[in-house]
Amino acid sequence: MCNTENKKGKAPIGVFDSGVGGLTVAREIMRNLPNERIVYFGDTARVPYGSKSKDTVIRYSRQIIRFLRTQDVKAIVIACNTASALALEEVEKELDIPIIGVVKPGAKVAAASTRNGRIGVIGTESTVNSHMYSQLICSYQKDIQVYGKACPLFVPLVEEGWLGDPVTEQVAKRYLDELLPKGIDTLILGCTHYPLLRPLIERLAGERVRLVDPAYETAHELGLLLEEKGIANRGEKASGKEPYRFFVSDAADKFKHFANSILPYDIETTRKINIEEY
């Protein structure tokens, strides 16, 4: 392998989300691609993206990508379902490094795993209304029925830490009561926060329904992409000074606290930047 490739392999992956949710994606990258370094940006000042317009989410995504480029990232992962659904198609045209979102990997696996051709997608309002999951699923497999359901209360409940709370269970029942009678056999957890509710959703959905976690599928897809482009880090497990670096646009301490509760790694520093400058 030539030197330039080697050097590129050691560069970090840029991962971004509207806030803390994308840490579920960063977590899967840490678990499944332990050699890769990460620079994470959480847009905690402008969260949520899930109720914002396409133009706004594209503008925010462009700013974040400009910031991540200053960190010399070798590839970018849009860890946010909403930004993947609304902005990926636009921003990928403007980039000369690989970029992936979470929607396509989730859609691909769901299309391959359904037996009865009925798939449910839960996500933010913007993700569900974009119909991006259904478009992609149908591009892999025609004749699949996709049923979307926006679950806007899940994000604040997860951020409140009410993962096993009876209130969360009531809310989840109410949302799923609209989807489950459609006879779905596959359900996509189409929002960064939902993998944290997986045990509850799994129990309510029952064993006939297979859950698809786009965070996990994205880490897998990212590994393949890095190999294909010849930029996987072939060195040692990510270590040394700050293999994982975290930046936010606000409330750095709150972010750090949440991150330390879900990551297999203790964050020491979270830096606040002014994203509007990019």
Catalytic residue list: 80, 191
Cβ–Cβ under 8 Å, residues 46 and 73 = no
Is residue 70 within 8 A of residue 14, CB to CB? The reply is: no
Q: Restricting to residues 190-209, name those near ligand DGL by CB under 6 A.
A: 191-193
Using the minimum distance from each CB to ligand DGL, give the nearer residue, 61 or 124.
Answer: 124
Q: State how far the Cα of 61 lies from the Cα of 67, in Å rounded to an integer.
A: 10
In sequence order, what DSSP letters do the residues of 235-260 get, joined into one string?
Answer: SSSS-SS-SEEEEESS-HHHHHHHHH
Q: How many residues bind ligand DGL (CB under 6 A)?
A: 17
> Rounded to 10 degrees, what is the CA torsion of 158, 162, 165, 169?
-10
Q: Which residue is nearest to ligand DGL (CB)?
A: 50
- Cα gap 191→157, rounded to integer Å: 13
**Residue among 152 and 183 whose Cβ is closer to ligand DGL:** 152
Please report how close the Cβ of residue 9 comes to ligand DGL at its closest, in angstroms.
Answer: 28
Note whether 270 binds ligand DGL by CB under 6 A.
no
CB of 6 to ligand DGL, least distance (A): 34
Q: Fill in the per-residue mask, 5 to 34: x = in contact with ligand DGL (CB under 6 A), - = not in contact.
A: ------------xx--x-------------
Minimum CB separation of residue 192 from ligand DGL in Å reads 4
Instruction: Quote the CA–CA distance of 118 and 112 in Å, as a whole number.
Output: 12
Q: Across-strand partners of 247? A: 41, 271
Does the protein bind ligand DGL through residue 186 (CB under 6 A)?
no
Compose the 67-106 pattern: x for residues touching ligand DGL by CB under 6 A, - for all others: -------------xxx------------------------
In sequence order, the 6+-apart residues with CB closer than 8 A to the CB of 102 are: 25, 77, 78, 79, 80, 81, 84, 192, 214, 215, 217, 218
Identify residue 76 by its one-letter amino acid code.
I
130 binds ligand DGL (CB under 6 A): no
CB count within 10 Å of CB 143 equals: 6
Given the complex with ligand DGL, which of 124 and 233 has the nearer CB atom?
124
Window 32 to 51, contacts with ligand DGL (CB under 6 A): 47-50
- Give the nearest distance from C-beta 132 to ligand DGL in angstroms: 11
249 binds ligand DGL (CB under 6 A): no
Residue from the set 68, 128, 155, 252 that interacts with ligand DGL by CB under 6 A: 155
- Name the one range near ligand DGL by CB under 6 A: 143-151, 187-195, 216-224, 255-263: 187-195
Give burial (CB, 10 Å; 0-12/13-18/19+) of 161. Answer: exposed
Residues that bind ligand DGL (CB under 6 A): 17-18, 21, 47-50, 80-82, 123-124, 127, 155, 191-193
